[in-house]
Each structure stands twice: as structure tokens, then as C-alpha cells.
Amino acid sequence: MASTASQIAAVTALNLSNVRERLTTSIVALVGIACVVTVLIGVLSIGEGFRAVLDQSGQADVAIVLRGGATDEMGSNLTLEQTRLVADTPGVKRDADGAIAAPELYVVVDVPLRTTGTAANVPLRGASPASGKLRPGFRIVEGRMFTPGTFEVVVGRGAVKQFAGLTVGSRLRWGTTEWTVTGIFGDRGSVAESEIWTDATVLQGAYNRGSSYQSMRVRLNDAGTLQSFKDAMTSDPRLNVKVFSEKQFYEQQSQTLTTLVRTLGVAIAVLMGLGAVFAALNTMYSAVASRTREIATLRALGFGSVPVIISVLVEALLIGLIGGAAGMLIAYFAFNGMQASTMNFATFSQITFAFTVTPALLIQALIYALLLGLVGGLLPSLRAAKLPITTGLREL
């Protein structure tokens, strides 16, 4: 074992010392792997950023109530009487103002994107007085809150960054109504920052919704009372509703896009990885060809085939490691925190988010880079080990 290990160390050291003789081909392989890693991380960071926004939005002790059979706010409808029954259900937390419960409306309006000027679907939420209480990070960061009973709106700071014409003082026309932006709000980077808020009663009148709502948010006494709260409502014959914890609701909404992005990212990485593997194969075959006599001489002196195989694989893995590390650095500084918006397929409206490069994502990309290097070095290493000694010694 000691002899084999010393042979591996000697042959590997000799191989790496000659890398400068094939520097050009090595750089080509390295750049190829770095590009694959950069693109892979860039694509997957979209899904991570989208999921992170929805994760930050969900609270275990807040329940969302929708009409029975509905899976999202757009497809739901609740009467005024139903919202009162929900607010009176045991398990709803109360403060000096009464039940911490907010019936809300959810409509979609057209707002042009800053980058292209094309119209995009942006959520316009009809908020109740308790809506801010149910989002503990909610605060006005510029201007002021809308005045109830007026055609005024406040805009999430994520929406301000992605869509045009949403600055404080702007006037916007949706339908037959002109709205004035009075403030910008933040909410810890949650999904609410992609929305525009106004008074729910005003929005009902503007969109002819009568006294109906689409969802009801309530704060529970604690997260453990969700099931008893749900049972109390589903057993009430006056209600036909579906209940989610806010955390569960947003997790379900994120599944479609994150699955799509991950599938797309893996497909792109595999296709680009094929090109990187060919570049690595070319590099390692070149390395083996330039060292034919050297390898044959080592074999004639008693060095085994295993040290030769490992020496070639180590060089290939080193290329994968350096290329992967370079791609990780490029992707992190290029993408992490970059603001963007995409379609939320659950509501067919835009949601703003930041590309998120997580440690787990970097580790996955590095493993993929090492795998590309390993695959690229495997066949050339086997060729080097099987090369007949006499043939190698006759090489010029």
C-alpha cells in the first residue's frame, strides 16, 4: 500500500508539473466548466429566490380562509356574513380592536415593466384595517398610508423597483378610476412587496364586487390551534370554506415554479455539461498524448497502471475544481441579490424577488463541476494505463 501511494504521489506530482505545456487546452476546459457552473447557479437561483420570498411570507400562526374548492385567492369568493362568522370562530386571537382578522380582495391590474415597457399583471389588494397587523414586517418606508374611503394606494417596494409609474404622487388609471400613490411599504422582502394595496371597501365599489371578499386572514392564538380552528369552521353548515396555514398556502404556490426552474436548470446544465466534458476529454487526451514516452518509461521502471490512472484523474479533477470555483464566484457576484420579477402561476400575476445563491446551491454546482472533470478524465486515464510499453517507448 505504501509503495502504491508513493507511486501515485510521484506520478501525480510529475504530471501536474507539466501542466504549463498544455496550458491552452487546460484553460479551454476550465472556462467551459466555469460557464456551465455559472449558468446552472444563475438559473437555479431564480427558483431559490422565488421560494425564499414565499417562505418569508408564511407564518404558522396565521390562517388563510378561502371558499371551498378554491386553491388561490383569484378563484375564491366569501360573503360579508361568512367573513364575520370566521372572525367569531374560537381560536382567533383578539386585541383591543377585536379579532385580528382581515377580509381582503385580490384583483389584477396592468402596470408596465420598467425594463421593457410591456404591460404586466400586478396584484391590487383590497386591505382591511387588520391587514398590516397580520404581516409583522409591514411598515411605510416612504410617504404615508392610504386614507380609507379614498382612491389612494400604497405600493410594495419590490413592485416599485420592477414596474414603472409607481412613485409617490403618481396617478394611475385602472378601469374608470384614477388612483393616487401615497406611499411605499416594505414587509421584510415578503410577497406583499410585489403588491399594491388600497382600501377593500373602495376596491369593492370600483370593481363592482358588492360586499364580497376573496380571502380572509386571521391570526390564531397559536400555531397549534390551526386544526381545531379548521374543524370548527368545516363543521359549521353556514360555511363552505377551505383553511390553510399561511406557511402551507405559500409553499403550495411555490411548488410549480420551483419545479419548473429546477427542471429547466438541470436540462441546461446537462446540455452545456456535454460541451464541457468534450473540452475536458480533449485536454486530457492531449495530456496523455504528450506524455506517451514518459508514461511508458514509468511503466518500464515498475510503476503500476493505477498511479497513472489516478494522476490523470487528479489533473482532470483539479480543472473541474478551479473551473467550478471560478463559476461559483462569478455567479455569486453576478446574480445574488439581483432584483427580478416572474409570473406566479397560481395567480397569473407578477411577483418580485431577488436571485438567491445559497450555500447548498454552491455545493451542488461544485459537485457537478467535479463530476464533469471526472468524466472528462476517465477515458483518457484508462487509455494511458492500457498503452503498451513498447509502443510508448517508440514514440518520438
Which domain range does residue 119 map to? 62-221
235 domain-assigned: no
234 domain-assigned: no
Q: Give the tens place of pLDDT for each residue, 90-121.
A: 999 999 989 999 999 999 999 999 888 888 88
45 domain-assigned: yes
153 near 130, Cβ under 8 Å? no
72 domain-assigned: yes
Looking at the fold, whether 264 and 322 belong to one and the same domain comes out as yes
229 domain-assigned: no
246 domain-assigned: no
Looking at the fold, whether 96 and 216 belong to one and the same domain comes out as yes
State how beta strands 152-156 and 177-186 pair.
parallel
pLDDT at 212: 93
Give the containing element (helix H, strand E) for 355: none
pLDDT at 253: 76
Residues in the chain, total: 396
pLDDT at 295: 64
State how beta strands 196-199 and 119-127 pair.
parallel
Domain boundary among the residues 202, 221, 240 is at 221
Q: Whole-number mean pLDDT of the chain? A: 83
Looking at the fold, whether 22 and 133 belong to one and the same domain comes out as no
How far out from the chain centre does Cα 4 lie?
Answer: 46
32 domain-assigned: yes
Tracing cell 518520438 back to the chain, one arrives at 396
CA–CA separation, 85 vs 149, rounded Å?
A: 24
Q: How many structural domains compose the chain? A: 2
pLDDT at 146: 96
pLDDT at 396: 46
Tracing cell 377585536 back to the chain, one arrives at 98
Q: Is 93 exposed, middle or buried (0-12, 13-18, 19+ CB in 10 A)?
A: middle
244 domain-assigned: no
How many CB atoms are located within 10 Å of the residue 246 CB? 21
Question: Low-confidence residues of the chain, pLDDT below 50?
Answer: 1-2, 396
Q: Taking CA 32 as the corner, what is the angle to CA 385 and CA 287, rounded to the nearest 5 degrees?
A: 25
Looking at the fold, whether 289 and 184 belong to one and the same domain comes out as no
> Helix (H, G, I), strand (E, B), or coil: what is residue 74?
coil
